[in-house]
């Protein structure tokens, strides 16, 4: 039984992992989610955390159509990720890809947790904190409070004013939502032709659903540039040191 606000021990949770990006900012022909990270594809490192987390019942991975076979063979089968229920083709944007993953989940799970496939340093502890927070809140996202001074500028690069950094957070994933909420938000976005959101909370906010943010983790970085990959290689090498 699921109460009005949160989850309980019987609530089923699906993780949707969008990983259909082309890796243009990486400047390589190979998508960044399949780049080597200490001997494993980056995506395999990410998925392992969800495989190991007891809160997650099943995983849906979203990749490009041409990468489905590779993902099944070289990641899901090779690393025995038996929680992966489906690998599906994504769309032209992250928002479209997440929607396709949510549609595959269907109403069989009460909750959907969305996490970027190129954030390989997510921990089972952070996943657990997000799920636990969902006991009290309808939608939960993760992020970090901004440390630096934030300025608002115009199109010419002229400073308009300063922003109160105590009210500004850098948003991460994982993010968790009721399946019915996030599915309705994505379907509404299609029917109303909403502009593409950079995260799923953007759509939830537009539906008028309150979103709670909890503190994420400094290491939970998103690998999008060659410099990010260098940092990721360094971090994972430190983890493997005795």
Q: What percent of the chain has pLDDT over 90?
A: 81
pLDDT in tens, 25-40: 665 667 889 999 989 9
Q: Tell me the CA distances in angstroms from 204 to 23, 54, 56, 95, one per residue in order.
A: 27, 26, 22, 12
pTM, 2 dp: 0.92
Q: Which CATH class is domain 13-237?
A: alpha beta
Q: pLDDT category, 227, cuts 50, 70, 90?
A: very high
Average pLDDT, the chain: 91
Q: Is a pLDDT exceeding 50 seen at residue 5?
A: no
pLDDT in tens, 60-109: 999 999 999 999 999 999 999 999 999 999 999 999 999 999 999 988 89
Strand partners, 114: 16, 175
Q: What percent of the chain has pLDDT over 70?
A: 91
Residue with tokens 């500004």: 168
Hey, what's the torsion of the CAs at 93, 96, 98, 99, to 10 degrees? 170
CB 31 within 8 A of CB 23: yes
CB 112 within 8 A of CB 141: no
Rounded-to-integer distance, Cα 173 and Cα 127, Å: 9
pLDDT in tens, 153-193: 999 999 999 999 999 999 999 999 999 999 999 999 999 99
The full set of domain ranges for the chain reads: 13-237
């Amino acid at each position: 039984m699921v109460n009005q606000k949160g989850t309980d021990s019987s609530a089923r949770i699906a993780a949707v992992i969008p990983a259909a990006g082309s890796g243009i900012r990486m400047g390589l022909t190979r998508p960044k989610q399949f780049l080597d990270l200490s001997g494993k594809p980056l995506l395999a490192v990410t998925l392992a955390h969800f495989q190991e987390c007891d809160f997650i019942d099943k995983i849906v991975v979203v990749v490009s159509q041409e990468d489905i076979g590779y993902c099944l063979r070289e990641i899901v089968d090779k690393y025995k990720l038996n929680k992966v229920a489906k690998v599906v083709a994504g769309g032209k944007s992250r928002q479209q890809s997440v929607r396709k993953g949510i549609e595959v989940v269907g109403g069989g799970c009460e909750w959907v947790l969305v996490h970027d496939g190129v954030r390989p340093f997510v921990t089972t502890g952070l996943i657990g904190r997000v799920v636990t927070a969902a006991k009290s809140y309808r939608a939960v996202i993760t992020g970090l409070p901004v440390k630096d001074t934030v300025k608002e500028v115009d199109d010419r690069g002229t400073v308009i004013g300063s922003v109160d950094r105590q009210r500004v957070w850098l948003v991460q994933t994982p993010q968790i939502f009721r399946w019915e909420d996030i599915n309705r938000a994505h379907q509404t976005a299609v029917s109303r032709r909403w502009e593409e959101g950079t995260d799923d909370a953007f759509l939830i906010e537009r539906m008028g659903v309150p979103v709670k943010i909890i503190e994420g983790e400094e290491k939970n970085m998103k690998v999008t540039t060659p410099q990010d990959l260098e940092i990721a290689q360094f971090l994972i090498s430190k983890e493997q040191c005795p």
